[in-house]
């Protein structure tokens, strides 16, 4: 094996390990890590022809995606890149150049999308708002940063067991917000003081339901009872088209050690990383395309992705991905 091939394998293995251990976390960061790694794979590939390159490149892409199953954002990015790789360019060098270009373009689009979500969302924040957040979301932070002058106070949950809420709380504190951290189970009590609940999303399903960090659904139910609107901030890349074809979103289950590293003998521990919030519980979904009701967002994505024409493509991609799990 050549030195560059060896380097490429090492890059892929390190990214896979970082994703699996949640050293890299958050849907946007997961997709970014995978896209950047695939770009490096293309740049360092020693494949002599297009077919050899395609076979190796697709295996690396599917392997990386298998590290975190509940990540349609990353799958959308990988599928976009793989569709370019399947085209006939005439040489391995040309196909590598095309892949590097599409990786760079995706990153630019992602950055611009997050920026637009922040701008649209800020317009929905009322004056002197008191807000509750759950977990860590780049899109949620973008909204809060844009609307800082209108925000009176923010409550952040810890978001157990990995405590991602601390990331949000730290970023907000550094920006000068009046921010208070609370334990997850205190959300219902503090919602009574809030004007709105804002969460991110790891996946949007075909019926407008939202997959997000475990605990989101529970807080959304409390918010509904307290008449506090739940807004979801996300880019459109989080929409999972395979759910339109009846494929359920896989909910990642994490190691029990994250919850209790030395539990009593015979104690069973379940550690799902995400839950599903019904679209009926959500006021609106804020995206780079605008602000939609959950159902209308799903309709918009169905039209944009032309899903009636692409069923075979998506199901074949999912079949190949499942082979790596």
- Select which of 135, 184, 194, 240 is catalytic: 135
Is 202 one of the annotated active-site residues of the chain? yes
Contacts of 184 (CB under 8 A, 6+ apart): 134, 157, 158, 159, 160, 215
CA distance linking residue 96 with residue 162, whole number of Å = 38
User: 273 is written with which tokens?
Assistant: 């990383």
Q: Indicate the angle between helix axes 138-146 and 27-44, nearest 10 degrees.
A: 120
Is 56 one of the annotated active-site residues of the chain? no
Calculate the alpha carbon distances from 10 to 4, 5, 112 in Å.
10, 9, 31
C-beta separation of 174 from 270 below 8 A: no
H or E, element range at 141: helix 138-146
CA distance linking residue 308 with residue 121, whole number of Å = 31
- Select which of 156, 194, 202, 240 is catalytic: 202
Active site (catalytic) residues: 135, 202
């Amino acid at each position: 094996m050549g030195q560059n091939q060896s380097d490429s394998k090492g890059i892929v293995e390190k990214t896979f390990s970082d994703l699996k251990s949640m050293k890299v976390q958050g849907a946007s960061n997961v997709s970014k890590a995978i896209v950047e790694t695939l770009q490096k794979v293309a740049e360092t590939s020693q494949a002599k022809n297009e077919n050899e390159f395609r076979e190796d490149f697709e295996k690396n892409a599917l392997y990386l995606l298998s590290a975190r199953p509940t990540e349609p954002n990353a799958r959308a990015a990988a599928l976009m890149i793989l569709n370019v790789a399947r085209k006939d360019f005439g040489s391995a060098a040309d196909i590598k150049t095309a892949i590097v270009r599409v990786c760079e373009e995706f990153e630019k689009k992602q950055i611009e999308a997050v920026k637009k979500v922040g701008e649209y969302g800020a317009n929905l924040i009322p004056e002197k708002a008191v807000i509750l957040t759950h977990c860590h979301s780049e899109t949620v932070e973008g909204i809060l940063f844009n609307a800082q002058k209108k925000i009176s106070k923010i409550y952040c949950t810890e978001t157990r067991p990995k405590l991602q809420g601390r990331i949000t709380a730290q970023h907000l504190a550094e920006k000068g917000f009046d921010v208070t951290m609370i334990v997850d189970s205190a959300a219902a009590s503090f919602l009574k003081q809030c004007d709105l609940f804002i969460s991110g999303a790891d996946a949007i399903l075909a019926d407008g339901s939202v997959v997000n960090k475990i605990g989101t659904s529970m807080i959304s139910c409390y918010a509904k009872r307290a008449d506090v609107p739940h807004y979801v901030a996300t880019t459109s890349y989080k929409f999972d088209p395979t759910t339109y074809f009846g494929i359920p979103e896989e909910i990642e289950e994490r190691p029990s050690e994250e919850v209790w590293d030395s539990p009593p003998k015979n104690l069973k521990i379940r550690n799902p990383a995400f839950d599903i919030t019904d679209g009926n519980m959500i006021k609106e979904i804020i995206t780079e395309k605008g602000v939609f009701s959950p159902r209308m967002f799903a309709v918009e994505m169905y039209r944009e992705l032309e899903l009636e024409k692409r069923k075979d493509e998506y199901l074949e991609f999912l079949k190949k991905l499942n082979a790596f799990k």
